[in-house]
Amino acid sequence: MQFSEYVFMYLKITGLRRLSSCLTYEYYFVNMNNNWTEAQSYCRKNYTDLVTIDNPEEMNRVINRVNLTGYTGPAWIGLEKGNSWKWQWSLEERRLYSDGQTGFSNWDSSVGAPHTADGNTNCVGMKDNGKWNDIPCAYKSPTGFFVCYDVTFVLRFHYCFFTVSHLFTHHII
């Protein structure tokens, strides 16, 4: 029996195969004169949803995407004040959030955001610097931009086997 046949046999016997996955996010900067609800509907129809920003790294990726366009005004993001009067992301399936994913914020304190006393500013626009401001959901900007995102699910098969002193991992996409 050849060495390669031994290795293959070892892999079959040990069953050290596993399937893992990862999600990739693409951001889309849309130029349409829509209010927040119309922007959300458009994103859900054509992509996944209005952008959800979970952490500073993702915030930077969104800002970089927006800055590529040269746009400097506000753009709708997927943050709204829901029926419970708490800020929440647009993503419909609340159980899909991991711990800490709903806690990140980037409010523009220079304009006093969020305006908690104002019951009309229930949706959020993002400036080109990434700062957020709460705005009336019915507002239609003359420039009318919003940011959607789309999620792609990528599967990768990992085959692992052990030798006496090394772990080898082969990725097959």
Span 13-28, pLDDT tens digits: 444 433 334 667 889 9
| Residue 31, both tokens | 């130029």
Task: Kindly state whether residue 170 falls inside one of the protein's structural domains.
Answer: no
Task: Kindly state whether residue 163 falls inside one of the protein's structural domains.
Answer: no
Write down the pLDDT at residue 93: 56
Residue 2 pLDDT exceeds 80: no
Task: Kindly state whether residue 1 falls inside one of the protein's structural domains.
Answer: no
pLDDT digits (tens, 9 = 90+) for 88-141: 888 755 544 444 445 678 888 877 777 766 667 789 999 888 899 888 899 887
Task: Kindly state whether residue 148 falls inside one of the protein's structural domains.
Answer: yes
Nearest by Cα to 151 from 18, 63, 27, 25: 25
Taking the C-alpha atoms of residue 34 and residue 56, their distance in angstroms, rounded to an integer, is 27
**Mean pLDDT for the stretch of residues 37-62:** 92
Task: Kindly state whether residue 7 falls inside one of the protein's structural domains.
Answer: no
- The mean predicted confidence, pLDDT, of the chain is 73
Please give the residue that has the higher pLDDT: either 1 or 173.
Answer: 1
C-alpha torsion 80→106→35→88, nearest 10: -10
Write down the pLDDT at residue 113: 73
Region of residue 100 (left: phi > 0; alpha: psi -120 to 50; beta: else): left
* Exposed/middle/buried for residue 29 (C-beta within 10 Å: 0-12, 13-18, 19+): middle
Q: Which CATH number does the domain housing residue 62 bear?
A: 3.10.100.10
Task: Kindly state whether residue 3 falls inside one of the protein's structural domains.
Answer: no
Total count of domains within the chain: 1
Determine contact, residues 10/154, Cβ cutoff 8 Å. Answer: no
Determine contact, residues 135/121, Cβ cutoff 8 Å. Answer: yes
Determine contact, residues 28/147, Cβ cutoff 8 Å. Answer: yes
Dihedral over Cα of 143, 35, 115, 101: its sign = negative
For residue 38, give its domain range: 21-155
- What percent of the chain is modeled with pLDDT above 70? 63
pTM across the whole model = 0.69
Task: Kindly state whether residue 167 falls inside one of the protein's structural domains.
Answer: no
pLDDT digits (tens, 9 = 90+) for 103-116: 678 888 877 777 76
Task: Kindly state whether residue 172 falls inside one of the protein's structural domains.
Answer: no
